[in-house]
Structure 1
Amino acid sequence: MDPVIVVGAGPVGLTLALALARQEVPTIVLDEGPGKEESRPARTVVLREDTAALLERLTGVPLAREGSQWAAWRSVRRKQVMREVTFGDDEPAPLHIAQHVLTGALREALAAERLVQIAVDSRLDSVEQEASGVTAHTRGPQGTWWRGSHLVGCDGPRSTVRKLLDIRFPGRTAVERHAVATLRAELPWPDEALLHRMPPWRTSGPSAGEVTARPLPDDVWRLDWLLPPGKDLVTPEVLLARVRETLAGWSGGSTPPYELLDTGVHTVHHRLARRWRVGRVFLAGDAAHLLGALGTQGLDEGLRDAGNLAWKLALAWHHGPHDALLDSYQAERRGSVAARLRAADQVLPLLRGGGGLRAYVPGTARGHDALLTDGHLGRGALGAPGVYDVSPLAPRHLEAEVPVGTAPGAQVTDVRVTAEDGSFVRLRDRLGRGALLVVLIAPGTGVWDRKHWVSAGIMPRLAAAVAALPHRAELLVAESYPGAAAHTVLLVRPDGHLVTALSGVRPADLYAAAEATLGGPAPVEAEAEATAGSAAQ
């Protein structure tokens, strides 16, 4: 079987290659660059807890040590604190990390991965596909051709893959622009992120109506100033004036010492590719979507693309064509990103439409700050991760289905579970291995040795039902789960989304749910071919 070809060596492409390798799928990464990441302190990313956990699981690197997990978030309007969020167990902190640090961790993990080959200085020139696979031709010093089972374009906003497939990429240009500066300084609120709207010192250049400060390790901060509409140049003089007056405003009148590390202008576009799959070729990350206004994070969505596609491609690679399963990638991920883009388009006129009567309506300012907080912290319609509740993979008409604290199609809560070998692990630690997860909620099991309960009660019947599922599954036991009663059985996808929760051991419902999650019954012809191929080897 030919490897999967990944075009693009940014965070999304590298994450996808590593996720496939963890499921024993070989990949070739076509990197048009020299294989090294340029250090740009002004390019940083904010990741939600579950996407940060995905990267830590793949790289083995505790990214919280490389980035900053904020202690709190504050929203200020003029001089008044409008909203404060303190992070803890009930409100996990986002992870803020420099993009080159993240990419470096991914490259280091891939260097030790036997199933991944990175071809540097390899720019895609053309793609040919037929029923049996894909051929990619590259140009440059390493120009050649590569044969793959599938190809995934993770090659950014100007995606060559998307253009070769003639896929439209409609949307809006320059929805927002921000001047960016990364600097080292001591600010009055260490380890806290701040959104300051309408700061009272706005004197330099065009009105700086909004500035965001996000901490990084070692007293480094990224500051973003929202720029007014238009194409006015941000000169070095204007940017330095903004830095000085902002730091002075926050520090009580005088500019504290600072070291300027990097600057830039960040322009936000909103676009969504019409199609994310054409035969054996897929799009992911910025090649498929652009978003980022109002504090939302585009890379976070790109990593969700990689997590969603990896287990589906791996299953198809190992077990033959599963068109319904592969088609669900576009249905789930495009639908999720489209919902966030629609939410942003609805909110933008309210937040960026100027003053008028809205400025005098009681509660308006607090409502605006709540919306912006949702975008920055990954909550609500603007920022929350997608729920695949209308997925084509969602099972239908399960008599034993019961509600729990997680909606079907949403990311599961990370609870402590007992694995089949008796060890205690986190639920998220078992994701990304290609297996379905079946979790029994059994209060009290945590205080007993596994040998005392593994053969008692409903466990033997559940173990038999799990062994009979149409795909490899791992049986786990948890003492509790939010909203779940004792003897509730959860079925979880390899990417961590809840399929269903069942009341007790219901083998027929469990099997039907697992079969639906795989896109329906496996094609008989594909199974026969796979069996014949294995016999020939």
Structure 2
Amino acid sequence: MDPVIVVGAGPVGLALSLALAAQDVPSVVLDEGPGTEEPRPARTVVLRADTAATVERLGCTTLRDEGLRWVAWRGVRRRQVVRRLTLDLGLSGTGEDGADGPAAPLHIPQHALARGLRDAVSREKLIQLVTEARLDTIEQDRDGVTARTRGPAGTWWRGSHLVGCDGARSTVRKLLGVRFPGRTAVERHAVAALRTELPWPGEALLHRQPPWRAGGEEIAARPLPDGVWRIDWLLPPRGELVTPDVLVTRIRETLAGWCDGTTPPYELLDTGVYTLHHRLARRWRVDRVLLAGEAAHLLGAVGTQGLDEGLRDVDNLAWKLALTWHQGASDALLDSYQSERRPAVAARLRAADHSLPVLRGGGGLRSYLPGAARGHDALLADAQVGRGPLGAPPSYPHSPLAPPPVEGNAPVGTPAGSPVEDVRVTAPDGTTVRLRDRLGQGRLLVLLVAPGTGVWDRRHWRGAGVMPRLEEAVRALPAKAEVLVTEAYPGAAAHAVLLIRPDGHLAASFTGVRPEELYAAADAVRGGAPDAPVAAGSDRTVDVR
């Protein structure tokens, strides 16, 4: 089998290649640039708990060294603190650390994130990274994709599939003729990265209507390691020219406003002005070519995080491509990528677009948005910390892969189609890990809720009760799966069985072991039987170097 061609070596393209390699699928990554990242301290990304876990699972080590998890989020209006959330540094979002908020987001310079992903790629034999490779042509046939690149590495490349992760000006999207409608210049921000000391170490801040002349309508301050802060000032959509002198005035007045009228010493590291657009590609799949990340969508206003959605594209697509590559699949499986991800991103864009008139002035009927009753500050807080329609991880309740309801279904605390809770589980080798650690390996997870197993010797309960029957049922499933055991799961009765997709979304839950119903649910998750048998030898691990 030919490797998957990934066009674009930004964080989304690199993450996709690593996610495929974790499932024994080779890839060729076509990088238009020289293979290095320009350090830009003012260009940073915020990763929610689920996407940070995805990146860490892929082998990116810079999250620990160059990223910072916020200890709290603080909302201020004029001179008054209107809300403060202590964030859960345990990453579970359950308040185990005495937190009243969700799991702490992670803030990291984008060049540090990309460097960490490149380092992980360099250690992976199944990934070939080609620099100075500018895509020129895509051709498809029933067996694969051929792509031509220009530049020093100009040649023809053959792949089983091609994924365009090549950003907002995607060449892949243009070659496919896919429209990219949306709104231009939704928000503008001036941004500065500086090293200084602020009164809230480790806390992120959103200050609305600050009482000083150069503050504008809204200022955000987000901490980074080593005393560095990224500060954003919301600008009018058009017209205001931000010169260096104007920006320095903003910095000095803002720091003085936060530090009792005196500007503290600071070291200015980087500045910039950026404009946010909202766009959504009409199609995310054209036969064997797919789009992901900013090639498929642009968002970022009102606290939404575009890279988060790009990494969620990776989580959703990688296991489907891997199953197709190894075993063959029905068209329904790859079609479900667009059917699930596009509506999820569209809902995020809709929520942001509907919120803007309320949050930036005006209102009217739009003030009846979900969450508006708690006030504008609560809506912005949810967006910043990863809750509500602007920030929460997506669910796929209407997925075409959803198993049909059966008599043996037993509801649990997680609705079908939603991300599962990150509970502690016992893995097949007897180790105790977080459930999230078992994701991204291309396997279905079958989770048995068995109270008391934590105090039993595993060799005793492994062959007792329902375990032998469950393991036999799992061996018979039409896709690879592994059995995990947990002492408790929110809302689940003893001996409940949960079927979890490789990307961590709940497919179905049952009262006890029901082999036929479990098989039917697993068959639905894989999109049904393959349309055509996979080529001989496709399950071999291939070194593409």
Q: Give the structure 1 partner of residue 155 of structure 2.
A: 144
- d(CA) in 1 for partners of 2:468, 2:380: 50
- Corresponding residue for residue 217 of structure 2: 209
- Indicate the residue corresponding to 1:124 in structure 2: 135
Residues 365-376 of structure 1 mapped to structure 2, 5 A cutoff: 367-376=375-384
The alpha-carbon deviation at position 353 of structure 1 amounts to 2.7
State how far apart, in whole Å, the 1-side matches of 2:450 and 2:497 are.
Answer: 9
8 Å CA contact retained: 1:441, 1:479: yes
- Alignment match, 1:9: 9
Match of 1:526 in 2: 533
For 1:532 and 1:168, locate their aligned partners in 2 and report how far apart those are by CA, in whole Å: 34
Task: Answer whether contact 2:60 2:119 (CA < 8 A) is retained.
Answer: no
CA distances 1:377-414 after superposition (whole Å, capped 9, x unpaired) = 11101111210000000011221111111111111111
2:298 to 276, 280, 290: 290
* Structure 2 counterpart of 1:465: 473
Assess if the C-alpha contact under 8 Å between 1:440 and 1:478 holds in 2. Answer: yes
TM-score, structure 1 length as denominator?
A: 0.95
Q: Quick one: which of 167, 178, 181 aligns to 2:178?
A: 167
SS of the residue 1:401 aligns to: coil
Equivalence for 1:69: 69
Query: Which residue identity does 2:390 align to in structure 1?
Result: L
Matched, 1:250 2:258: yes
Conserved in 1, the CA contact under 8 Å of 2:76 and 2:206?
yes
Counterpart amino acid of 2:341? R
Q: Which 4+ stretches in 1 moved above 6 angstroms?
A: 355-359, 531-534
1:419-474 residue CA offsets vs partner (Å, 9 max, x unmatched) = 11111111111111111000100011011111010110111111111011001100
Deviations 1:481-514 (A, max 9, x none): 1111110101111111111111100111111110
- Describe how 1:100-499 pairs up with structure 2 within 5 A: 100-201=111-212, 203-204=213-214, 208-354=216-362, 367-499=375-507
Check whether the contact 2:326–2:539 (CA below 8 A) recurs between aligned residues: no
String of CA shifts for 1:343-387, please: whole Å, max 9, x gaps: 11211111113599999xxx9896111111111111101111210
Is the 1:415–1:478 contact (alpha carbons within 8 Å) kept by the matching residues of 2? yes
Paired residues of 1:248 and 1:256 also in contact (CA < 8 A): yes
Residues in 2 aligned to 1:64 and 1:340: alpha-carbon distance in whole angstroms: 29
1:513 equivalent in structure 2: 521
SS in 2 for 1:254: coil
Query: 3-state DSSP class of the match of 1:214?
Result: strand
Letter in 2 for 1:249: G
Please tell me whether the aligned partners of residues 10 and 155 of structure 1 are also in contact (alpha carbons under 8 angstroms): yes
Give the number of aligned pairs: 526
Do the aligned residues in 1 keep the contact of 2:163 with 2:289 (CA within 8 Å)?
A: yes
User: Could you tell me which residue of structure 2 aligns to residue 54 of structure 1?
Assistant: 54
Matched AA of 1:55? V
**1:12 partner letter:** V
Residues 316 and 521 of structure 1: CA distance in aligned 2, closer, same or farther (over 3 Å): same
Aligned partner of residue 244 in structure 1, secondary structure:
helix
Q: CA deviation at 1:521?
A: 2.3
CA pair 358-12 structure 1, distance change in 2 beyond 3 A: closer
Structure 1 CA distance, aligned partners of 2:30 and 2:537?
Answer: 32
Displacement, 1:81?
A: 1.1
Q: Which residue of 2 aligns with 1:80?
A: 80
Q: 1:231 Cα shift?
A: 3.2
Q: Which residue of 2 aligns with 1:24?
A: 24
Q: More relative contact order in 1 or in 2 (CA 8 Å, sep 6+)?
A: 2
Confirm or deny: 8 A CA contact 1:436 1:474 kept in the other structure.
Answer: yes
**Does the residue aligned with 2:397 lie in a helix, a strand or coil?**
coil
TM-score by length of 2: 0.94
Does the 8 Å CA contact 1:320/1:530 hold for their aligned counterparts?
Answer: no
1:64–1:95: 8 Å Cα contact kept in structure 2? no
* Deviation, structure 1 residue 532: 10
- When residues 532 and 70 of structure 1 are mapped into structure 2, their CA distance, relative to the original with a 3 A threshold, is closer
**Aligned-residue RMSD, C-alpha:** 1.9
SS in 2 for 1:370: helix
Q: Which amino acid aligns with 1:269?
A: H
